[in-house]
Chains A and B, each alone.
Chain A
Amino acid sequence: MPNAEEIRIIDGLRAGGHSRRRFENELWERFRSFIGLGISKYSLSNDDVRDAYDDTICSVIVNIVTGKYQESSNALLKTYAEAIFHHKCIDRLDRHKGVSEAANAKNNLKNPQSFSQFLVDMLPNPVKNTIELIIEKEDQLKMQRCLEKLGETCREILKLFGGNYKDKEIAVMLNYSSSEVAKQSRYRCMEKLTEIYMSMYKYE
Chain B
Amino acid sequence: MSESLEYIERYFGGEMAPDEKIVFEDRCIRDPAFGREVAVYIMMQEQMTRQWKEGKKQDFNTLETESNRSRTVKMPDAKPRQGRLRTLNPWKYSAIAASVVLVIAVGVVFYLQYAKRDSSGLAKNENKNQQKQIIDTVTSPKENIDSNKPADKPKEAPLTEPDISMYDQLVAKNFTPDKVPLNIEGLLADPFHQYERGNFKDAISSFKETEGMLEGLETRGEDEQEEKERKQILFYARYYSAISHIANGNPLKAIAEFKSAGPGPDRYWQNKIRWYSALAYLKTGKVTNAKSLLEQVVADTHSRDYKKKAADLLNDISTNKKDN
A-to-B contact residues, CB < 8 Å: 3-5, 7-8, 11, 15-19, 21-22, 24-26, 28-29, 51, 54-55, 57-58, 61-62, 114-116, 119-120, 122-124, 126-127, 130-131, 134-135, 138, 140, 143-144, 147, 155, 158-163, 168-169, 172, 184, 187-188, 190-191, 193-194, 197-198, 203
Contact with A along B54-71 (1 / 0, CB 8 A): 011101100100010000
Whether a CB of chain A sits under 8 angstroms from the CB of B116 is: no
**A190→B29 contact, CB < 8 A:** no
- Inter-chain CA distance A8–B305, complex, in Å, is 14
Question: Residue B228 contacts which of A15, A134, A144 (CB distance < 8 angstroms)?
Answer: A15
Residues of A within 8 A of B50 (CB): 140, 144, 162
Question: Residue A25 contacts which of B57, B182, B267 (CB distance < 8 angstroms)?
Answer: B182
**A119→B228 contact, CB < 8 A:** no
Residues of B within 8 A of A191 (CB): 1-2, 5
**B268→A134 contact, CB < 8 A:** no
**A22→B225 contact, CB < 8 A:** no
Whether a CB of chain A sits under 8 angstroms from the CB of B39 is: yes
Main secondary structure of the interface of A (DSSP, over half): helix
New A-B contacts (9) at CB < 8 Å, excluding given A24-B56, A140-B50: A3-B304, A7-B266, A122-B11, A140-B46, A158-B48, A162-B51, A163-B55, A163-B56, A194-B37
Residues of A within 8 A of B267 (CB): 4
Residues of A within 8 A of B181 (CB): 22, 26
**A54→B6 contact, CB < 8 A:** no
Residues of A within 8 A of B29 (CB): 126-127, 130
**A25→B225 contact, CB < 8 A:** no
Question: Residue B45 contacts which of A55, A119, A134, A160 (CB distance < 8 angstroms)?
Answer: A119
Whether a CB of chain A sits under 8 angstroms from the CB of B229 is: yes
Q: Considering the complex, which residues of chain B in the window 51-92 have a beta carbon less than 8 Å from any beta carbon of chain A?
A: 51-53, 55-57, 59-60, 63, 67
Residues of B within 8 A of A168 (CB): 225
Whether a CB of chain A sits under 8 angstroms from the CB of B140 is: no
**A116→B42 contact, CB < 8 A:** yes
Q: Which of A62, A119, A140, A160 has the most CB of B within 10 A?
A: A119
- Inter-chain CA distance A11–B228, complex, in Å, is 12
**What are 14 A-to-B residue pairs whose CB atoms are below 8 Å?**
A3-B304, A4-B303, A15-B225, A115-B46, A116-B42, A119-B42, A126-B25, A131-B35, A140-B43, A162-B47, A162-B51, A162-B52, A172-B225, A184-B2
- Inter-chain CA distance A122–B172, complex, in Å, is 58
Contact with A along B182-207 (1 / 0, CB 8 A): 11100000000000000000000000
Whether a CB of chain A sits under 8 angstroms from the CB of B318 is: no
**B47→A8 contact, CB < 8 A:** no
Residues of B within 8 A of A158 (CB): 44, 48, 51
B-to-A contact residues, CB < 8 Å: 1-2, 5-6, 11-12, 25, 28-29, 35-53, 55-57, 59-60, 63, 67, 181-184, 223, 225-226, 228-229, 232, 266-268, 302-305
Q: Which of A17, A25, A57, A138 has the most CB of B within 10 A?
A: A25
- Inter-chain CA distance A124–B23, complex, in Å, is 12
Residues of B within 8 A of A58 (CB): 52-53, 56-57
Residues of A within 8 A of B302 (CB): 3-4
Residues of A within 8 A of B63 (CB): 25, 28-29
Residues of A within 8 A of B47 (CB): 140, 143-144, 147, 162
State how many angstroms separate the Cβ of B293 from the closest Cβ of chain A. 18
State how many angstroms separate the Cβ of A146 from the closest Cβ of chain B. 8
Residues of B within 8 A of A126 (CB): 25, 29
For the complex of A and B, list the 10 residue pairs with the smallest distance between their C-beta atoms, beginning with the closest.
A162-B48, A116-B46, A163-B52, A162-B52, A134-B39, A4-B302, A143-B47, A187-B2, A162-B49, A159-B51
